């Protein structure tokens, strides 16, 4: 019965379709909208307008992470958990808010429609009428072949531009690292510093993204105020990126030690053991006949985390749910220099006080490096406009967006995730006995 309810199903299809629709909706904004700004706005005002557009675009992810921190506190697995009357309305609230946000996104379109002149409306209606006649002709050879020929010529001109091609390659490396870092940042905060999923998402939305938004906007103001040339913008963007990555290197010095898990990172006596010598069974639990693929950690009174209450050698328990306490744990009694209670509580033992202090340093580093990185974002974006011919700007921006999303946005989380999986110490298992999610990482290798 457990295998039949295994959620290997088709939820990913809904996510795929949603991302496809989102991509279709975003497509006109970047290549056409930004090119429109560059064509009709004053040249000195374009950096500010582009910065404003990107700054406002950061508000969505910021509120998304904040909302995600609230949703992470709700245990709702649709199709596998009986919501009941009390919790059944919670997912509906999410969808109602989603519909409300979708409607708000169309307010500016509605306002724009109110200001259309009559001749513009007549033109739009006429275009709809004639489109039924024009569209079939598009597929005829006299239109499609010249279009492909012109597109190939324009694409060749854009890619043969050395400055644009160099900018494209550098942006691809930058964006790949940014996507990989942002995708697994909540997991990193959980595994490295012992933060909860909810708190990790909340802190990203509150401390990481706002400095990026401010940096993008200030970068546009700097370009406008000092009227920097394309060479000046290139130097400024390079210096800011170099400074951001230099500051980010200090992450290596503010990491925490591994979780002290008996049989995984330390022995049952509390002594560190090498990664390849982990053994979750010991003499103290040899008579318990415990399962080796279970991950239900308990925190012993001696400060050691055990993979499960069974592997801790616990023989009795009181309470239920989160308040359950296990007693008479033989492995806790067997640990060196421990004379206290032989009991354990559910969950991993918290990180040390020193780790909490390092998490503060980590947050400060994130704020500063993110701000410096974003400060050079708008100048770098303006390089793309100035290094190509005016009639090729839309194609250049569209090609940039396509490559960033196809070659960075899609594969980066895959190979970053594969590298992170190499640092896993303890894999979970599904109800069918297959390998599940990683439960414990090697913090040093992860960092």
CATH code assigned at 202: 1.20.1250
List of residues 6+ apart from 200 with CB closer than 8 A:
69, 185, 186, 187, 189, 190
Domain count, the chain: 2
Q: Do 250 and 299 share a domain, yes or no?
A: no
Q: Under 8 Å CB-to-CB from 242, ≥6 apart: which residues?
A: none
Q: Which of 346, 368, 392 corresponds to the end of one domain?
A: 346
Residues 337, 290 within the same domain: yes
What is residue 85's predicted lDDT score, i.e. its pLDDT?
A: 47
Domain that holds residue 300: 275-346
- Sorting pLDDT into bands at 50, 70 and 90, what band is 363? very high
Q: What is the mean pLDDT of the chain?
A: 79
Spatial contact of 300 and 344, defined as CB atoms under 8 Å apart: yes
| pLDDT of the residue at 150 | 83
For residues 184-211, average pLDDT: 89
- Regarding whether 170 and 71 lie in a shared domain, the answer is yes
| 310 vs 85: which has the higher pLDDT | 310
**pLDDT score at 1:** 43
Encode pLDDT of 403-435 as tens digits: 998 899 889 999 999 999 998 888 877 767 677
In a domain, 194, yes or no: yes
pLDDT of 265 above 70: yes
193 and 68 in a single domain? The answer is yes
> For the chain, how many residues are written?
447
Hunting for tokens 């691809």 — which residue is that? 172
Residue 211: which pLDDT band, with cuts at 50, 70 and 90? Answer: very high
Which pTM was predicted? 0.77
More confident residue, 121 or 354: 354
Average pLDDT over residues 36-57: 86
pLDDT of amino acid 75: 65
pLDDT above 90 covers a percentage of the chain that reads 19
Residues 247, 181, single domain; the answer is yes
Considering the domain architecture, whether residues 167 and 250 belong to the same structural domain is answered as yes
- 10 Å CB burial of residue 344 (0-12, 13-18, 19+) is buried
Question: What DSSP state is assigned to residue 361?
Answer: H
Q: Are 307 and 170 within one domain?
A: no
Shared domain check, 336 and 199: no
pLDDT in tens, 109-157: 444 444 444 434 444 444 444 445 444 554 454 556 676 778 888 889 9
User: CA torsion, points 56, 61, 66, 70, in degrees to nearest 10?
Assistant: 140
Pick from 216, 236, 223: nearest CA to 54: 216
């Amino acid at each position: 019965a457990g295998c039949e309810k295994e959620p290997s199903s088709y939820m990913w299809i809904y996510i795929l379709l949603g991302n496809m629709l989102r991509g279709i909706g975003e497509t006109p904004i970047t290549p056409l909208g930004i090119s429109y700004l560059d064509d009709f706005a004053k040249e000195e005002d374009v950096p500010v307008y582009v910065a404003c557009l990107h700054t406002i675009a950061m508000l969505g992810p910021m509120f998304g992470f904040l909302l995600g921190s609230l949703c992470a506190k709700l245990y709702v697995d649709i199709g596998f958990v009986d919501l009941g009357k009390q919790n059944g309305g919670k997912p509906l609230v999410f969808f109602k808010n989603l519909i409300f946000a979708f409607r708000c996104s169309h307010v500016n379109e509605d306002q724009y429609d109110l200001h259309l002149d009559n001749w513009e409306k007549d033109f739009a209606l006429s275009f709809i009428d004639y489109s039924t006649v024009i569209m079939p002709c598009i597929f005829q050879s006299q239109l499609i072949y010249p279009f492909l020929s012109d597109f190939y010529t324009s694409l060749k001109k854009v890619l043969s531009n050395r400055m644009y091609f160099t900018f494209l390659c550098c942006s691809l490396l930058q964006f790949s690292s940014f996507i990989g870092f942002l995708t697994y940042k909540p997991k990193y905060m959980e595994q490295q510093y012992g933060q909860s999923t909810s708190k990790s998402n909340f802190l990203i939305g509150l401390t990481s993204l706002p400095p990026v938004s401010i940096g993008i906007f200030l970068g546009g103001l700097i370009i406008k105020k000092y009227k920097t040339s394309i060479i000046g913008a290139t130097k400024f963007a390079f210096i800011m990126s170099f400074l951001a990555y230099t500051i980010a290197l200090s992450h290596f010095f503010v990491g925490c030690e591994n979780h002290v898990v008996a049989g995984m990172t330390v022995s049952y006596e509390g002594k560190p053991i090498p990664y390849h010598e982990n053994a979750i069974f010991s003499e103290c639990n040899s008579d318990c006949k415990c399962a080796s693929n279970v991950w239900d950690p308990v925190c012993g009174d001696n400060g050691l985390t055990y993979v499960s209450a069974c592997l801790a050698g616990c023989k009795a328990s009181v309470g239920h749910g989160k308040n359950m306490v296990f007693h008479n744990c033989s492995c806790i009694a067997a640990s060196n220099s421990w004379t206290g209670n032989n009991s354990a509580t559910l969950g991993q033992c918290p990180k040390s006080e020193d780790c909490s202090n390092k998490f503060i340093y980590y947050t400060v580093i994130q704020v500063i490096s993110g701000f410096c990185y974003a400060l050079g974002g708008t100048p770098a974006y303006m390089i793309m406009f100035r290094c190509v011919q005016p009639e090729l700007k839309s194609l250049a921006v569209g090609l940039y967006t396509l490559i960033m999303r196809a070659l960075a946005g899609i594969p980066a989380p895959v190979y970053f995730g594969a590298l992170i999986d190499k640092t896993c110490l303890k894999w979970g298992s599904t109800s069918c006995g297959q390998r599940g999610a990683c439960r414990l990482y090697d913090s040093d290798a992860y960092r």
